[in-house]
Structure 1
Amino acid sequence: MQESPPPKVMYTDRDCCGRQSIKSYFDAWPFLHVRLDSWHFMRRFPNGCTTDKHQLFGPFMARLSGCIFQIDQGDYSLLMKAKREELLKQGVPDPSDKDVTKHITSDEVGRHCKRATRGIKETTSLIKALIDSLDGERGK
């Protein structure tokens, strides 16, 4: 049986850096990069919030997710086609793209569409724009 090469990147939910990094457990793999996984990265943002009960908490987290992840457009097109057919069967005559999009739930998108991270530059730029949009008077 052929031995697999060691991984180059490991994603973790904690201890990705600093003195307590789990990288210290993998000294035999000197080229291993330990990174915080995307979901746990995103969940660290609300630590600066006063409460998750704030009326903008949900919309902020949804927009933050959109800054980090992008939906596969091929999958989304297929979902749109399926939802359009569903609306036609329900008697909605010639639904527009806007009508179809309005009837697609986030749960359906999560179930039927692949997601990928956007990359460092685009994610950083989008998160900065999100924070700027809620900063100062604009955030009231």
Structure 2
Amino acid sequence: MKTLKKRRRVQIILLAFVALALATGLIGYAMRDGINYFRSPTQVIAEPPAPNEVFRIGGLVEEGSIVRGQGETVRFTVTDGGESVKVAFTGVLPDLFSEGQGMVGTGSYVDGVFQATEILAKHDETYMPKEVIDALKEQGVYEEPADS
């Protein structure tokens, strides 16, 4: 009788392990296209990615580099202080997008130009979501920022 219980226990453990491995594999397979790796301009120049690879690039928009083209196409250069990458974006830019400010773009690197499909602009350094402020106030850690 004990051997039957032990055998059932081992079978259940093996079945749980197989189910866990299968679930992990399915999650990884489903996320393969949803993961966008982040690269700096220096990394893009050092090892240019394949034209069909979608990734994120981030850095500062170089001063004097924004050129508005035909229609909604905007061209500019993003830098990390070491290297610079040309960016082309067709669409509406965020309100906080400007020269000398941080940005993150999603897209692909084709023929020496990063073709962006999405541009995100960096918020002000003093920005903090309301939920974070509330949590810090509950802990008694939050201090009101000094007005400039």
Same fold (TM over 0.5): no
Greater share of residues in strand: 2
Q: Which has the higher contact order (CA 8 A, sep 6+)?
A: 1
Q: TM-score, normalised by structure 1?
A: 0.26
CA radius of gyration, larger in: 2
